[in-house]
A and B are shown apart, each in its own frame.
Chain A
């Protein structure tokens, strides 16, 4: 089965799995999980340097930047202005003009603030950013983001870090059908089957952090996720059988012994 390459804003990625760099028990575990995942894009957060304690090593010491594309995020931003400011800083600190745009609307759910997200997308696209917005699993919101110039849309499967899996599979399918840009399911994956389901629904990629970093064995979970994304994608491309209420025998009904 041949697949079209995974391209975002003209850049081709070998893996449809995008993973985070947060919450790992140690940088060494993160590095091994990254390798096991096969991912070639990782997300990072932009934060103040700790002035009083300069002993902490840089995150980038543990990321193979020759192989991994760095995608700075605006996690923790609650207004468009904050997210725009953070995106600009991320661009200066990094090596690209890409941003995973988050504008959060609520602390408990970490659901996006759609209006502010759209506003920030407009501004950053205007400044030449490649914007990948983390959004609700709302086809209309995704369409507006795409029309604003987003390079991909990244609907959540479930709240960030919840591990609940894809809560609204039908919306993901509709988003895929509406979108002319890549659809990346971002957040909510708990285990490998969730990632496979996202891909089977037609998502072009899956982005996750906690499901790997928080697993008891992050390195083997990263391997599982790698296979799940490949399996889900292949299943999607292969055209699954329709769901039926009753059985249809796999073995011939003729030629039964003693009948």
Chain B
């Protein structure tokens, strides 16, 4: 199934939690913020929020800036 991940098409095998998605992407969950279908996902809800077909996910972190 398809999701849109950071603006790009992305394939997942089955619906999965935000935690599972971050693990699959090898991303440290403590250092990122996640938006699911334009709604912020609080960190403590990463295990329970499920990403499914057609969903939009944004994963952001801090980069250098002024």
Interface residues of chain A, those whose CB is within 8 Å of chain B, are 20-24, 30, 43-49, 51, 54, 58-60, 70, 72-73, 75, 85, 88-94, 160-161, 187, 207-210
- In the bound complex, do residue A93 and residue B40 qualify as a contact, i.e. CB atoms below 8 Å apart? no
- In the bound complex, do residue B33 and residue A90 qualify as a contact, i.e. CB atoms below 8 Å apart? yes
Output the least CB separation between B43 and chain A (Å).
7
- In the bound complex, do residue B26 and residue A43 qualify as a contact, i.e. CB atoms below 8 Å apart? no
Given contacts A24-B64, A72-B62, A85-B35, 13 further A-B contacts (CB under 8 A): A21-B65, A22-B64, A23-B64, A46-B61, A47-B61, A48-B59, A48-B60, A51-B25, A59-B62, A70-B62, A89-B33, A93-B61, A207-B66
**The residue from A23, A49, A210 contacting B60, defined by CB atoms under 8 A apart:** A49
Output the least CB separation between B63 and chain A (Å).
5
- In the bound complex, do residue B10 and residue A51 qualify as a contact, i.e. CB atoms below 8 Å apart? yes
- In the bound complex, do residue B66 and residue A60 qualify as a contact, i.e. CB atoms below 8 Å apart? no
Interface residues of chain B, those whose CB is within 8 Å of chain A, are 5-8, 10, 25-28, 31-35, 38, 40-43, 58-66
Output the least CB separation between A68 and chain B (Å).
12
**The residue from A49, A73, A93 contacting B66, defined by CB atoms under 8 A apart:** A73
> In the complex, A22 Cα to B33 Cα: how many Å?
20
- In the bound complex, do residue B64 and residue A21 qualify as a contact, i.e. CB atoms below 8 Å apart? yes
Q: Whose C-beta in chain B lies nearest to the C-beta of A48?
A: B6
**The residue from B5, B10, B26, B28 contacting A58, defined by CB atoms under 8 A apart:** B28
In the A-B complex, the 6 residue pairs with the closest CB atoms: A45-B65, A209-B66, A20-B66, A92-B33, A93-B33, A22-B64
**The residue from B5, B31, B38, B63 contacting A51, defined by CB atoms under 8 A apart:** B5
What's the dominant secondary structure at chain A's contact region?
A: mixed
16 contacts between A and B (CB under 8 A): A21-B64, A22-B65, A44-B65, A45-B64, A46-B63, A47-B62, A49-B25, A49-B59, A49-B60, A49-B61, A51-B5, A85-B38, A89-B40, A92-B34, A92-B41, A160-B66
Looking at B25, B43, B60, B61, the one whose CB has the most chain A CB atoms below 10 A away is B61
Q: Which residues of A contact B38 (CB under 8 A)?
A: 85
Q: Whose C-beta in chain B lies nearest to the C-beta of A54?
A: B26
Output the least CB separation between B31 and chain A (Å).
5
> In the complex, A94 Cα to B28 Cα: how many Å?
13
> In the complex, A72 Cα to B64 Cα: how many Å?
10
Looking at A48, A70, A73, the one whose CB has the most chain B CB atoms below 10 A away is A48
> In the complex, A24 Cα to B43 Cα: how many Å?
30
- In the bound complex, do residue B59 and residue A20 qualify as a contact, i.e. CB atoms below 8 Å apart? no
**The residue from B7, B8, B65 contacting A209, defined by CB atoms under 8 A apart:** B65
